[in-house]
Structure 1
Amino acid sequence: MGRRIGFARWRSDVASGGNRYDDEISGELRGLGIELREHPVTGAWPVAGPGDRERFATLLEAEQRWLVDNIVAAAAPEAIAAATGAGRAVVVLMHYFPSDDLSLPSRDRAALAASEERAVRAASAVVATSAWTAREVARRYGRHDALVAVPGVDAADPAAGSERDGRAPALLWLARVTETKDPLALVDALAQLRELPWTARLVGPHTAHSDLSRELRRRIAAAGLADRLEITGPRTGAHLEQIWQRTDLLVHTARSEAYGMVVSEALARGIPSIVPLGTGAIEAQQGAGSAFPPGDAERLSQELRGWLADPELRRRWRDLTAELRPRLPTWTAAARVIAGAFPP
């Protein structure tokens, strides 16, 4: 395609779906012949200070075409408007809604909702990571032309699971320990299922929110689940794949979710999931499992009980994942959507 695009991206210090999406898309855009120039954006985004925003505004003068991560754009609508007003093409990539981030103070969340609306309206184009996110952009901000670039997923070997080896069904929760990801909902749900056979792992970074991490461990101990529910911390590479291979069911409890790459990664391994209703995770799941209202531990417990107690249901969910695995989205397709958002 022979075009040059600047990519203004902010990288989390810990592993995240946003980091992974940006990394994969960068490689795929270059594979399409685009000269992609990555410009790391530093600062406390999305709650950035005046100096951070000024530096970002200056950065946008360096290229004529920009892909901007919305964790940055949401806090810098004036810079987006100035760039497009000067004739630059600015495509905002919507990973998530900062105003939904429960780890932020309510005042900051309200301010971000207002500032992100201005940024989205000022952008040349908007790319969302799911159809759900695109609908939310339309509902929240009145912009109805967002393109959809669903995250790809790498092919993987089907998980053997634990149940097929005669062990208790193995559950996996894989995310950062934050209020938004809501691991407490899983603990509270499993506390009601002590009489059933199961094991569970909570995998992911858990040191950023110390109060929540302490409460998580306290509830596990109080429920008498310490011998069945393990907090492993982050795992990557072969160590994470070993956990995937022993998993029978993914449980995703996020209060807000733009897509849920972990759900499609489970699907690639033939693992069904239980996900939160009214979020992009429903889209990623494609019906291979069930759903519950976010934050409703009672309903989650009911869904888990149904799966744990019904071997036929477990078989049907596994069979559905086998049907869906060959048709999972690709990173190349996502990159083509993003490339198409820019003028020729």
Structure 2
Amino acid sequence: MTKAPLRARLALPGDPATPTGGYVYDRRLMGAAPGAGLDLSLLPLPGGFPTPCGATLAAALGILRAAADADPSPIFIDGLAMGVMPAEALAALPVPVIALHHHPLGMEPGLAPERAAALIASETAALAACAAVLTTSHETAKTLTGRLGVPPEKIAVALPGLDRAPAAPRRGTPPHILGVGTISARKGWDVLARALAQLADLPWTAEIIGPRDREPAADAALQGLIEELGLSPRLRLSGPQPAEALRDAYQGADAFCLPSRYEGFGMVAAEAMAHALPVVTTTAGALPEATGGAALLVPPDDAEALAGALRRVLTDRAEADRMAAASAARAAALPTWEDAARIAAGLIARVTRTEDAA
């Protein structure tokens, strides 16, 4: 007799096709779920999170309640929405609720202190109302336990999966530096611009691929900084790209840089390693975990240190080759999306058994 698959819903706010790491993770997890014996279906929530108006929040809670009343299977709620939902409303749902937590909303760089504190308090209460938490890095799991009070036994870690890819040839003339990520304060692209200004004596071009409409003020400030530093002929902001074009961009790069001020994992750094690119990034959040000793790490917000690391890659071919080999080895050791789906399925099975026993 064929075993029936486990069933769950994934409540996700806004457009599921949004080209950011959290949304990519959710889409890929749903895509890999059948191979892990898991039927994980999308439960769409309205957009506007994590700063919903009252009507949006009420609509989202109504959708969750109706879904829970119609089907007893567990509901994952993406942390972008879960972290600002009232804990009492989550606790009142008649099905197990599992947080899918990428990183704490209250740790987003640039927040006013009172806003950050309010988000941490809201997330702490919401997480306490959840039956379990699935998160995307061991570093984030430590943060949830140490700062938001989540018991370790409630947490499962499912690292993002990684697709295998051919090694980039790295023969650009001049060398090409690639960055991938939303134009936002958290990503630290302003630090990269200031670092590149210190490398004006070297031949290079650079490109940042990622959405430019998420934080319009950050995008305008970055564009102004690029012009102020005289980098416009060499540093391009390309906006989001479809998957095939992004793969081509990795293949056409000679080095990868992610200057983030915080990351819950850093999926794009891992993707760059899958293409055997030398990676320069920061010590922020889970980036050391994601890169596993294979990248050059500098402190966040240190343009001089970032420039020094990039200079090493651009001027020392032996060092760049060593880093490329280290990237490929690290990528080979990272899990697949099927591995992530199996961990999610195991967490659902555990929560369901606990609910049945109760």
Task: Tell me, yes or no, whether TM beats 0.5.
Answer: yes
Q: How many residues of Structure 1 are paired with residues of Structure 2 in the alignment? A: 338
User: Is 1:239 equivalent to 2:241 in the alignment?
Assistant: no
Q: 1:334 aligns with which of 340, 345, 354?
A: 340
Quote the offset at 1:105 in angstroms: 5.2
Quote the offset at 1:132 in angstroms: 0.8
Quote the offset at 1:122 in angstroms: 1.7
Distance (Å, rounded) in 2 between the aligned partners of 1:26 and 1:159: 29
Distance (Å, rounded) in 2 between the aligned partners of 1:149 and 1:226: 40
Distance (Å, rounded) in 2 between the aligned partners of 1:254 and 1:46: 20
Q: Which residue is 1:310 aligned to? A: 316
> Comparing 44-53 with 238-247, which one deviates more in the overlay?
44-53
SS in 2 for 1:341: helix
Quote the offset at 1:243 in angstroms: 1.4
Unaligned stretches of 5+ in structure 2? 354-358
SS in 1 for 2:187: coil
User: Is 1:255 equivalent to 2:261 in the alignment?
Assistant: yes
Quote the offset at 1:169 in angstroms: 2.0
Q: Which residue is 1:197 aligned to? A: 203
Please list the CA deviations of residues 98-153 of structure 1 after superposition, one character each: whole Å capped at 9, or x if unmatched.
Answer: 11234655543321110100111221111110111111111111222321100001
Q: Which residue is 2:187 aligned to? A: 181
SS in 2 for 1:215: helix
Q: Which residue is 1:153 aligned to? A: 162
Q: 1:301 aligns with which of 294, 307, 323?
A: 307
Contact 1:8 1:68 in 2 (8 A): yes
Give the 5 Å matches for 1:1-344.
1-12=4-15, 14-58=18-62, 59-60=64-65, 61-62=68-69, 63-64=71-72, 65-76=74-85, 77-83=87-93, 86=94, 88-102=95-109, 106-143=113-150, 144-145=152-153, 146-163=155-172, 167-342=173-348, 343-344=352-353
Distance (Å, rounded) in 2 between the aligned partners of 1:275 and 1:136: 20
Distance (Å, rounded) in 2 between the aligned partners of 1:126 and 1:322: 31
> Comparing 255-264 with 25-34, which one deviates more in the overlay?
25-34
Contact 1:53 1:79 in 2 (8 A): no
Contact 1:47 1:108 in 2 (8 A): no
SS in 2 for 1:339: helix
Please list the CA deviations of residues 149-190 of structure 1 after superposition, one character each: whole Å capped at 9, or x if unmatched.
Answer: 000011111111234xxx122111111111111210000011
Quote the offset at 1:230 in angstroms: 1.5
Normalised to the residue count of structure 1, the TM-score between the two structures is 0.92
Percent identity of paired positions between Structure 1 and Structure 2 = 32
SS in 1 for 2:301: coil
Contact 2:37 2:345 in 1 (8 A): no
SS in 1 for 2:103: coil
Please list the CA deviations of residues 33-76 of structure 1 after superposition, one character each: whole Å capped at 9, or x if unmatched.
Answer: 33333210104211223333333333243333111111111011
SS in 1 for 2:57: helix
> Comparing 182-191 with 22-31, which one deviates more in the overlay?
22-31
Unaligned stretches of 5+ in structure 1? none
What letter matches 1:249 in structure 2? A
What letter matches 1:133 in structure 2? T
Contact 1:129 1:151 in 2 (8 A): yes
> Comparing 321-330 with 271-280, which one deviates more in the overlay?
321-330
What is the RMSD computed on CA atoms of the aligned residues? 1.9
What letter matches 1:113 in structure 2? I
> Could you list the runs of 4 or more consecutive aligned residues of structure 1 that deviate by over 6 angstroms after TM superposition?
none
SS in 2 for 1:180: helix
SS in 1 for 2:185: coil
Normalised to the residue count of structure 2, the TM-score between the two structures is 0.88
Distance (Å, rounded) in 1 between the aligned partners of 2:250 and 2:310: 19
Distance (Å, rounded) in 1 between the aligned partners of 2:214 and 2:174: 31
Contact 2:206 2:236 in 1 (8 A): yes
